[in-house]
Amino acid sequence: MTENGISRTSRRTVLLAAGSAGVAALTGACAGPDGTRGAAGQPSAPASPPAPSSSSSGGSTPACVLTAESGAGPYYLDLDRVRSDVTEGRGGVPFRLDLTVVRVSAGCRPVAGAAVDVWHADASGVYSTGKDSFLRGTQVTDAAGRCTFRTVVPGWYSGLAPHIHFKVRPDERTETTSQFFFPEELLAQVYALQPYARRRAPEHPNTRDSRYQASGAAMTLAPASEADGYRAAYTVGIA
């Protein structure tokens, strides 16, 4: 399947260099859950997943900067399915995504009661559409601005880097939409496992995507092994 969403960065989106004094001050005052400042993830499959290489985790994303926004793509369905586990029996390497939503303009305060939607392709690169709802779901952030999704590492499809879409709706009038990417080293390891290995994955699934080139530095997760999969944590900063 192809996706025709054109990458864009909102005019109000601010990307700060990790080494800048502004980010240093913000991240020092606003760390993510358990001290994390970026992301971590988790895969599932019949075989034990390989541990990510040292280059897979890379640098962590600053915890308190505005999230780079991008289009939702044509496959977003506002189903309002409030659930943490979105797999619906779909096969793949298990992946846990822990998100914390903070309001950057309010001193990085956690945003409680925000609806967070995620949706992505399955191991075969297929999205649920119509009456289907696999790999889609909604969670509401708790008092600390946190929520968790249990899913699988998304498969690839032609032209775009593998990704997980997300939308944060702090109220009925505003929303922030973007997507998370994965390190190519990790994708190569995961796609060698079933059910992903039924298709030959591209050698470089990320670098061919203009969206990844535009915001990959800020929106690539830093997965860590957990049980039979991966886990990632990410702090989403909204205006």
Q: Is residue 56's pLDDT more than 70?
A: no
Contact 40, 64 (CB under 8 A): no
Query: Cα–Cα distance between 210 and 179 in angstroms, integer?
Result: 13
Q: Taking 60 as the threshold, does the pLDDT of residue 126 lie above it?
A: yes
Q: Which amino acid is at 96?
A: R
Inform me whether the pLDDT recorded for 35 exceeds 50: no
Distance set, CA 213 to CA 21, 81, 194 (Å): 25, 32, 28
Q: Confidence class of residue 41 from pLDDT cuts 50, 70 and 90?
A: very low
CATH pick for 21-238 out of 2.20.25.650, 3.50.50.60, 2.60.130.10, 3.10.20.30: 2.60.130.10
pLDDT tens across 62-120, in order? 467 777 777 676 666 666 689 999 999 999 999 999 999 999 999 999 999 999 999 99
DSSP strand pairing (229-238 vs 94-103): parallel
Looking at the predicted structure, is the pLDDT value of residue 123 above 90? yes
Distance between start and end Cα atoms, the chain: 33
Comparing 121 with 2, the larger pLDDT belongs to 121
Write down the pLDDT at residue 131.
87
Q: Provide mean pLDDT across the span 209-231.
A: 95
Mean pLDDT of 4-22: 28
- Summarize pLDDT for 140-195 with one digit per residue, the tens: 999 999 999 999 999 999 889 999 999 999 998 999 999 999 999 999 999 999 99
